[in-house]
Amino acid sequence: MRTLVFLLGFWSLVTQAQSTRVLFVGNSYTYSNDLPGMFTQLAASMGETVQTGMVAPGGYTFQGHTTYAATQTAIAQGDWDFVVFQEQSQRPAFPPAQVATEVYPYAAQLAQQVRAANPCTEVVFLMTWGRENGDAANCPNYPPLCTYEGMQQRLYESYVEMAALNNAWCAPAGEVWRTHRNDFPTTGLYTDGSHPNVLGSYIAASTLASTLFRRSCVSATMVPAGITTEQALAVRTMASAIVADETLPWNIGVNDPVANGAWTLTSGTTVQFANNTVGGATQLWDLGDGTTSSDADPLHTYAGTGTYTISLLVADDCGRTDSTAFTIDLLNTGVGNGPDAQRLRVFAQGGHLSLIGGDVNGTLVLNDPAGRTIGRHALKGGQQQVVLPAHYVGPVLWQLQWTDGRIQSGRIMVD
């Protein structure tokens, strides 16, 4: 989340909450070593105030939680910032077709129940870890479960997909666990080949801290009894690095608004701005000359020519924010206002994005709502058509940088 400090005084929505409320929904992996309590203490040593709740009957599945009275009552409170879901340890490692029928529908139902109680609550799926030597009971029927590595890979795949399918976050404790096993192969993480020992639970707590607070937990000072300061630091460093790796598919911040602004020079030094943000409800523009505007698409006349840096800060109805900045050049009145720019039309159909309007010469960059680049195309000539990623559905943010320096951008929905 990128925040423009100089704008905070103008906008109360950016004020950070004093306390973070987290509901844990799981089973024995959650209540072993009191994971919520360990997370709370770790967060406190990071300067974060946390209140937690827990519903974790032994062996419970997502399916069981969809109808379990205690779970439903806790979710219905609706005052949670996060609800962390942990599935029964074996189920997400089963064959993909089985997971698709026995896990995913109930993960979706739980996510829906959370959002029905409070649409601003973030759903987080806590990726668990493979058993120390694989799942011997299910190995004969599904060979990947015969080893830790095979089981861990299936858990990784299922939890990542659950997060993607439900616009939820993935807290990758299982991936941190795998890395720790590789780096420290003689250090035990289990009590019985399945449940975590204190160090294993500390991996989960550190991963959750870095995920939920979206920052490193390396500076935390809480070290539970039973592990050394050096072991704790190694875990926090590892968890912070893995969570922060933007090349990995954790989906953190998936529901944040994505700020996107554009401009067109209408005449002289008068500029029409356009807020093409995805997911925003309120905006504040800093127009680069000491003036601001809360209009969605402000029209502004500058006192003279020059180069101005524009900033756009947006927030959604839940107070999640994003910002962007760009430069406009009013020294050359042709920049951003050529005839092709005025006529350009962009539309999607049949898995393609079409651009029509004069000679379209430049570089087209396509991003998804999370800001990930999904296409980059060099364009030259008249009507252009570029292929969208296979089976892509949802908003596409496009930006066209013309060869003469003009920049246009916008948003289009792909059905």
For residue 371, what is the domain's CATH number? Answer: 2.60.40.3080
Window from 5-9, 285-289, 393-397, 410-414 with minimum mean pLDDT: 5-9
Q: Which two tokens stand for residue 309?
A: 């840096």
Q: What domain range includes position 304?
A: 256-332
Let me know whether 263 and 393 are in one domain.
no
Vertex 284: Cα angle to 280 and 286 (nearest 5): 140
Say if 101 falls within a structural domain: yes
pLDDT band at 6 (very low <50, low <70, confident <90, very high): very low
Let me know whether 226 and 288 are in one domain.
no
Let me know whether 47 and 164 are in one domain.
yes
Mean pLDDT of 85-105: 98
pLDDT at 11 over 50: no
Say if 249 falls within a structural domain: no
Domain boundary pick from 195, 223, 244: 244
Let me know whether 284 and 143 are in one domain.
no
pLDDT band at 307 (very low <50, low <70, confident <90, very high): confident
Q: What is the pTM of this model?
A: 0.76
DSSP state of 17: P
Let me know whether 211 and 359 are in one domain.
no
The helix or strand, by DSSP H or E, that contains position 348, with its residue range, turns out to be strand 345-349
- The Cα 218–Cα 409 span in angstroms is 39
Tracing tokens 């937690």 back to the chain, one arrives at: 52
Mean pLDDT of 404-413: 71
Domain boundary pick from 244, 270, 287: 244
pLDDT band at 358 (very low <50, low <70, confident <90, very high): low
Let me know whether 362 and 220 are in one domain.
no
Select the highest-mean-pLDDT range: 170-174, 256-260, 320-324, 353-357: 170-174
Let me know whether 210 and 343 are in one domain.
no
* β-bridge mates for residue 327, sequence order: 309
Residue 325, C-beta contacts closer than 8 angstroms, at least 6 positions apart = 4, 309, 310, 311, 312
Vertex 243: Cα angle to 104 and 214 (nearest 5): 100
Say if 251 falls within a structural domain: no
Please give the tally of structural domains in the chain: 3
DSSP state of 258: B
pLDDT at 66 over 70: yes
What CA–CA distances, in Å, run from 295 to 57, 274, 312? Answer: 51, 10, 11
Q: For 125-175, how does the pLDDT look when each residue is reduced to its tens digit (9 = 90+)?
A: 999 999 999 999 999 999 999 999 999 999 999 999 999 999 999 999 999
Say if 75 falls within a structural domain: yes
| Average pLDDT score, the chain | 88
pLDDT at 332 over 70: no
Let me know whether 143 and 210 are in one domain.
yes
Q: How much of the chain exceeds pLDDT 90, in percent?
A: 67
pLDDT at 112 over 50: yes
Let me know whether 60 and 39 are in one domain.
yes
Single-letter amino acid code for the residue at 286: D
Let me know whether 237 and 373 are in one domain.
no
DSSP state of 132: B
Residue 20, C-beta contacts closer than 8 angstroms, at least 6 positions apart = 43, 48, 49, 50, 51, 81, 82, 212, 213
